[in-house]
Each structure stands twice: as C-alpha cells, then as structure tokens.
A and B are shown apart, each in its own frame.
Chain A
C-alpha cells in the first residue's frame, strides 16, 4: 500500500506540473526511466494456475517474435501472445522506425527473465488465434516498460485496470520527445526508393541489407498462397510477402520493385529471408511471359544463399510422407542417391489429388525455403513434380 501512496503523490505532482501551459519554463528531463514500471506490482497470485486454463499463470518463452508478440509455452502447449495495451512499431512483415529496437528490447528482457507470468484481461484471444495478455517478467510489466522506453504508444482498453497508469506513463514519456516521440531511428533507412541490388547479391549477403531500403529487378517464378518468389537471370531468388495484390505479380512477369525491406520468416536462424513492404505503387512491369531460370544444386551443397532460388532436384526418392492434421499440408521427405535429405512442403493439394507414395523417384522443381533449419521446396501444387 505504501508504494501505491507514493505513486499517487508522484501522479499528483506530475499532473499539477502538467497544468503549466508555458512549456518553455519547464526543464524536461529527457532521460528515459521506468518509474511507473518500478512502482507497479502484481495484485494477483498465480501459483498452481495455468494461463490457458485460468487466464493467469507462469509460462516459458519459446520464441521472440517482435516488440509486442512472442510465443510462450504453458506446459507442453506453445501459443503466440499479443501483448495487451500496446502496439510497438513493426519489425516482421513491415519495418517501421524503432521496430527493431522494440523487438530487441522485448526479446532481451524475456530471454533473460527468470519468471514470466501472463495475465489475461477481457477476451483471452483475438481474431487471429493469438492470445492476449499482460506480460510480467520477474515481476515487471513489460507492456508498461515499453511505453516508458518510448517504444510504443499506450492503447489499453478504457475498461482495463491498467488504463490510468498506462496513460500516465505515456504522458510522462511523451514530453521527453525520445524515440517514437521525436527522434529519428539511426537504424532505419528513411529513403523512399532504396538501393538497387541484384537478387543474387541480396540472397547471398543478406546481413548487408537488413537496414536498407531495397530495389530489385527479377522475374516472378512461383506463387505460394499468393505470395511470389522472384528470381534473377541465374535463378537466385527470394520470397516476397505481399500486403496487397498487383496484377503484375504473375508468373513470368519481369518487374522492378522499389522500397522493399529484408526480414526473415519465421526467424533468421531457422527460416528464410523475405522481402516486405510491398506496395503496388512501387512496382513497374518490364516484360511478360519470361522463362523462369532454374538452378541445379546438389542437396549436399545447399547453403542459406540458395534460399529463395528456383531449384530443381533430380532423381530424389520419397522416404516419408506426413499430412498435417492442422493445416492439411503435406511434408514429403526425399533423399538423393547419397542419402542427403530434402523436404517438399506442399500446400493446397486435395488428398484425392495427392498421388505420391513411398519410394517414388521424382524430379521436382520449386523455390527453396527452410523450416526449423531443414531445407525444403515450397510447392502449391504438384505441377512441377515429375514421377519417373
């Protein structure tokens, strides 16, 4: 209770001083702090409770996603959680100023936390199958700490029990004019078009382009769920995540696209690079009906620089077939004559059309991706699968 009393005093002093309408007379401390987060303590217990069952409970971090989302585990069940009351700048399917800083801040705190507790309020899930929670790490509310670090706006629901203190934390932070409230992000490329780069250069030196706007020219080689792989004349390629459609995104079309950013899906360590920030404002059609260059690469020689390339594997043998009960996707494991494995991830194929069986020998062409570190060709049909 005594902390609460001090908090009220701080609020009172703060709000009285906020009445002063001559800001030039006020000396503003621009240093960021976590005064509100330091003061706030949990008002609930979670011993023996499960977040998924009881709405409150201790969890473990499975994976960082971005500044306001992470994947946690409650026992053996893993699930994504969107943090309540905030909306940090984007850093996955779009790059915003301060998005990467917010993402790194959250990941650092959660990764190094001894205890993580989730607290639901209102609906436990949103419309995207994500859970919603206030996230406490080692007794600190990271949702509020991100507000105080000027890495998000406060967006808590009016009837949330944290609305008032979140709002006061935002007010106290806003006047500092730091980060999202008035500073340019030194790690963000504010240029509009970006640097022209070949897809091969991009695919093989991704780390060089993580903070640049990018312009690429290439041919649409393949589409998966409406999102294309674009390749250069040598067959090097990269996946592009679209937020909107363009009639120019059609297989065989050679296009130039400006203003793109490079990210990774689902992450840099185990997934694939992808281009984001696509807008149909920034696409120019160069020519149509172009041939798609195909790369021949042996499975054993695959590297991360080949991710996104349009690749053909010849004479590979089916060794395992798995049908996901959740997604309906097939994952077909194949190996070459030397026993090197590669996967085929096949989406949107009806079980009545799926005709592959164990020991089939195949020639398969498709864009290369990676799932949990394992290379696989991404296929949206069986058109490029030839049984021998």
Chain B
C-alpha cells in the first residue's frame, strides 16, 4: 500500500512538473509591455551567468555603479560554474516557473529557451523612445547573430570573443622563426614550421599546436574548407566528401604532431601543457588568454615570452574565425517592472563605456562600434598601459579577424535536433579521429547516428 501511495505521489509530482512546461509551439509570442516609467518600489532581479572570481569582480563593480543610478533595483548576481550548468539550471527553472530574470547564454541555449517559451523578444525595448538603444552602433555580425530567431530579437550581444593562437616566442626566436604582426598562418605553413619546432631538442616541443575546442575545430575548419555543416532549418549536412577530406587532412596534421588536442594529456584546455612547453602554440578563446600567460600562471623563474597570432587558415580555403561568446536575454516569467529593470541593466552593461571596460578587463570584445572607437579602447589597441600589454595584443589580433567572423545558425525544438547537440557530436567526431578509435568515415557515420532517431 505504501509503495502504491508513493507511486501515485511520484506520478502526481511528475505530472505537476511537466504540466508547468509551456512550449513555444502552443504559446503565442510573449506579450511585452514596456513601462514608460520605472516603478518606485524595490525591484529585485536575478542575473544568472558564468563569471567566476576574476570576472565577477568587475561585474560587481558595474552592479554597484548601476545601483547608484537606480537605487531601487537590487540585482542578485549568480555565477554558476559553466555554460552547461546555466543551461541545465535555466531549463529546469523554466519548467518549475521560478526563473532568473535575465541570463547569459549562447544562441543555442536561447533557441532551447525559446522553444520552451522561456524568453521574451527585446524589440520593443530596443525601439522604446524612453529606454531604447541604437542597434546600428552594435557590431553588425553580433546583431545578426541575435536576430536569427524567427519572430524577433531575443537577446543582446554581451561577452563576445573569438579564437586566437598563443605561441612560445622564446622558442620560435631561438629557432630563427619570426612572425609579422597579426600574420595569418596556413596549416600548410604550420606543417613546414613543425619540421623545425617539433622534436626533443632544445627549443622544441613534442607537438606544434594544440586546439582547445574540438567542436570549434570541426565547425570552423568546415567553413574554411567549404564543407557543409548545418543550415538554419536544422539540417545536418556533414555526410559529404568535403567534410571527409577536411577531417582526413586534420588527421594527417595530428599524425604529424602539427596538431594535438588537449585530450592527449587528459586535459580540457591546452594551457597547462603550453606553459609546460610540451606544445609550442595553443589555439583557444580570446577570453581564456590569461590561462596561457606565463606571467600570470608561472613563478618568475619559469616564465617565458609569448606572442599572439590569428588562428590558422587553409591555403586554398575561405578565411573564417569563430564568432563566439554569450549574449544576454530576459526571461518570460517576469513582470513588467522586472523586465524593465533587467533591460536597464543590460543597456547599462552594454553601453559604450562599460562594453569597453568589460572588454579590456576580461579579454572579451566590445559589442559596440563606439566602444571600439572610444579613447579607452583605442588606448588599449595603440598605447596600452604596461599592465595591459597582452590584452592589447589580444585585441589587435581579434580585430584582425573581424572581417571573417562567422557563426552557425542556432536551432532547437521537439522533432528537431538542437544546434548545441550537433556541436557536441562534432566535437566527439574530431576526438574519435584524433584518438584513432574511429576512421573518418566511422566518425561521421557515428555523428549522424547520434543525431538521428
């Protein structure tokens, strides 16, 4: 009897939880009313993000400055460990009806929230006479990324980044290999360089270059190679000869120790082995620069000089660099006052000065053209304070790639594969090829199998 009662209760619990879910399929676009005045009473809004100790220090400063402008808005800033955690928590929260008021995330995530009826379009706030922003001041490709949803602009760009390559300048100098500022190397040139730099001798490494994100390696290499990946309709297009050729070439680079994944050392990122000089170059997010800086991570005696370069391209390919980094959205389960308060804070975070400050301090890139043109950011690019030398190099490298920033369409939905799932499987495919557990054909087939049902 007890078991039966428990089963009934558990069933009821499960039903009540799923009964809360409201899918975009059966809900009209959320009605958004933009208040013309901010209410006087205290408005508490909760902000979910992933910024840990270092980045949250500046975020807390910005929150304190915002509180001086709007004393009746209290912001709970909640830093979770990583993006998957925020994604998982937010999806759970949408299901139970107790959500944050605004949240950072990738387009993939917002596509999933949108499918669950969890976020609101921001168009009315953007166009508001009282509270609006000038979208033409935002970097065009960032706006396009946030406008890719069918019925509105559901997010604003916030912490944008791209990928870059950090190299052990002391080793390269010692071998007589120098690079011009922001020189774009091809993988074919990297093969030649590896002949000198890879080895067991002095000023040599076991591998030439590590690549942090196996998913990015697959996706961006596909673009560079001209190999179809996905489209906005959610079709997975990797079953083609170009993708096979691209992966086959990457496997050749791996076999020749030109390219290595952090998996080689059971690591998630290549930083530790770059600092240990196991690998001479490392490719990763601009937002992760500090983890590759000997001056930040090593004792003085162990430090060495590093340089920064754009990511490698293919000799006969199309130049492409990942446009990545999270955007910011307002949740649907909020009242008008909370939505306005959240919007005002988003607007504050992304204004000309604060977007520049955030970029300088975190390694992300400004989201506004006026921020890039600001005295503050131009000083970083051209006349940096000695404390910001590497941040300056990073910003210059990042902007040398801005003309070929690219992103992939985000999609989600029942009966449709989510773009985040495709991305995950793309990473596994590269890793399987690298480790050698699958041939290129097998890896692609496994990817398709995992994405089919």
Contact = CB atoms under 8 A, between A and B. Distances in A.
Whether A associates with B in a native complex is yes
Interface of A: 1, 4-5, 8-9, 11-12, 15-16, 18-21, 23-24, 90, 94, 96, 153, 155, 158, 167, 171, 174-175, 177, 180-184, 190-192, 225-226, 243-248, 259, 277, 279-281, 283
Given A181-B46, A280-B387, A15 B13 contact: yes
B61 A182 contact: no
Nearest to A281: B361
Given A18-B20, A248-B387, A281-B58, A177 B44 contact: yes
Given A15-B16, A245-B295, A281-B58, A192 B98 contact: no
Nearest to B13: A12
16 contacts: A5-B5, A12-B12, A15-B17, A15-B20, A15-B96, A19-B20, A155-B85, A174-B98, A183-B74, A190-B64, A190-B67, A243-B53, A245-B296, A246-B387, A247-B386, A279-B58
B103 to A, nearest CB: 14
A225 B300 CA distance: 9
The 6 A-B pairs of least Cβ separation, nearest first, read A182-B44, A19-B20, A247-B386, A8-B9, A280-B387, A16-B16
Contacts, number: 95
Nearest to B56: A96
Given A5-B2, A20-B97, A175-B98, A247 B387 contact: yes
B9 A5 contact: yes
Contacts of B266: none
A243 B54 contact: yes
Nearest to A180: B76
Contacts of A248: 386-387
Given A18-B96, A18-B97, A23 B335 contact: yes
A183 B54 CA distance: 23
A277 B57 contact: yes
A171 B6 contact: no
A20 B16 CA distance: 11
Interface in B6-58: 6, 9-10, 12-13, 16-17, 19-20, 44, 46, 53-54, 57-58
A94 B61 CA distance: 14
Given A15-B17, A167-B92, A181-B46, 14 more contacts: A8-B6, A8-B10, A8-B13, A12-B12, A12-B13, A16-B16, A18-B97, A171-B96, A180-B76, A181-B76, A192-B61, A244-B54, A248-B387, A283-B387
B382 interface: no
A23 B338 CA distance: 12
Nearest to A285: B386
A21 B97 contact: yes
Nearest to A179: B76
A185 to B, nearest CB: 11
A263 B224 CA distance: 52
Contacts of B88: 158
A9 B12 CA distance: 10
Contact of B64 (A158, A182, A192): A192
Interface string B305-327: 00000000000000000000000
A123 B16 CA distance: 34
Contacts of B65: 192
A226 B78 CA distance: 31
Nearest to A173: B98
B53 A90 contact: yes
Nearest to B338: A23
A142 B20 CA distance: 31
A383 B85 CA distance: 49
B81 interface: yes
B299 interface: yes
Contact of B9 (A9, A90, A183): A9
A59 B97 CA distance: 40
